[in-house]
Every structure is written in structure tokens, then in C-alpha cells.
Amino acid sequence: MKKKNLAVLGLIALSAAGGPGAPAAATFRVEQERFPRVRTARTQAQPRLEALFRQAGLSYPPGEIFLRVFKLEGELELWARNGGPDPFVRVETYPVCASSGTVGPKRREGDLQVPEGFYHVSGFNPTSRFHLSLRVDYPNASDRILGDRRRPGGDIFIHGSCVTIGCVPLRDGPIEEVYLAAVDARDAGQARIPVHIFPCRLDGDWLKLERESWRRPGLMDFWRNLKEGHDRFEKDRRLPGVSVDRTGRYVFSEK
């Protein structure tokens, strides 16, 4: 990621936040729409996005969204809810159009792996080299314990342009829809947009992963830990609280 683009991420976050005694800041949506690609996406992608929300029985803009990725299936799901205690509803499933690495978590810089675990969106880049992009907060607390302490890697994005080295790429039309939904949820007050990344759908025949793990001790235990969080959401379509213990294991709780 070029320094210029990283600077844009910081500028947007600061200008949207404001500060004590500062003049009223523009909304996050207004800040984003200063960029041509976001304005174009409003024209090209928003009508279909609003139709998808109507079909799902949801109002637009969303109160909250949630993104879920399955690596083997090559799918990214957009979930949303109007707010409050309502369960999440799946709005759309988008194909992940390119891949690198294999199943299993990212553990070091340069391993070409897409991370696996429980993350959130940590930045919006409307001038990405890959059309539009949402930064994922890898490495998280678990990755910093279980991965390479000195060089865990970083710069993981959900982005357009259908190319990747360790990211989650979509085609430009789908990333415009996902990006707009994220912007509008952020504008509506959702400070943290969860992103859960799994090796595959952890139901049915998920134990097929066992043949992928024989060369990597501990991998099945890691996936079983991910399955705990996966199954909590599947139970009632509500997101669990997620924390990390001193061993790097995810711990789940009711929100």
C-alpha cells in the first residue's frame, strides 16, 4: 500500500471523528463522497444494493452490517440488521474471484496466506490501487501471540480489481456494494464492523479439513476454536463477544 493511500485512511478517520471544541465535522458519508469512485458507486451500485436489502426485509441504510468469508468456497457474505436485538439477515453472497495460499491462518509476512479468525474493518480506502478497499485489522491479538512476533505481516484488505496476494478480492461491482454498505453503517454509528474469516463452512463435512492439517500440528485445534464462534452465530444469527486469552485462543461470550 502506497504511503499516500495510508495517509488517506488516517485523514478520513480523523476528520470523521472531530474533537472537543472542534467545529461540526462532516458526516463519514459526506467525507467519503468527496472521492470520485465513491460518488460513482452511489450512482452505479446503490440501486441494486437497496433492492437487495428490501428483498431481505431490511431498511436501507443499515443499522449494522457483518462480513463473513469462507476461503475454500470462495465466498464473502454480507449480513445486516436494522439494529437493536434483531438477528442478522444475509443480504447477499459475493464470489471471491481470486485466491492465494491455502487453508490455514496467516502466521508471517510473505506467506501469501489469507488470515483466518475474528477481525473488524479498520480503515476505508476510496483511492485504492484496487478500486475500493476495506482494511482488515490483521494482525489481531490472537495473531500477535500465535504468529511471527517480529514479522507477522499486514496490509490485509477486502478490495476490488480481482487480484490478490493474501487479501480478499472481489470484482469491482461487488466491492462497490460492500463498500457502500460499510460506509453507510459507519455513518449510522457502527464503530466496529466485524469480519469473520473461516477456512470453509464449518458445518456438514467440515472435517474434510483434517487431511489438510496432518503436516501442521495444532491446526485442527485452531479450527475447532474457530468453529465455536461460527456455531454461536449460526445458532441465533447474533454475534458473540470475542476476546483472546494469553495462549492466543479465542474466547466467546454473550453480548
Which entry of 131, 167, 196, 230 is annotated as an active-site residue? 167
Please give the Cα distance from 123 to 181 (Å, whole number).
Answer: 14
Looking from the CA of 78 toward its CB, the CA atoms found within 13 Å total 25
Q: Which residue among the candidates 120, 159, 196, 230 is catalytic per the annotation?
A: 159
Residue 159 catalytic? yes
Element (H, E) at 118: strand 117-125
Residue 62 · residue 78 · CB < 8 Å: no
Please name the residues in contact with 47: beta carbons below 8 A apart, sequence gap of 6 or more. Answer: none
C-alpha cell at 28: 463519514
Q: Which of 113, 134, 131, 139 is nearest to 122 (CA)?
A: 134
Active-site amino acid positions: 159, 167
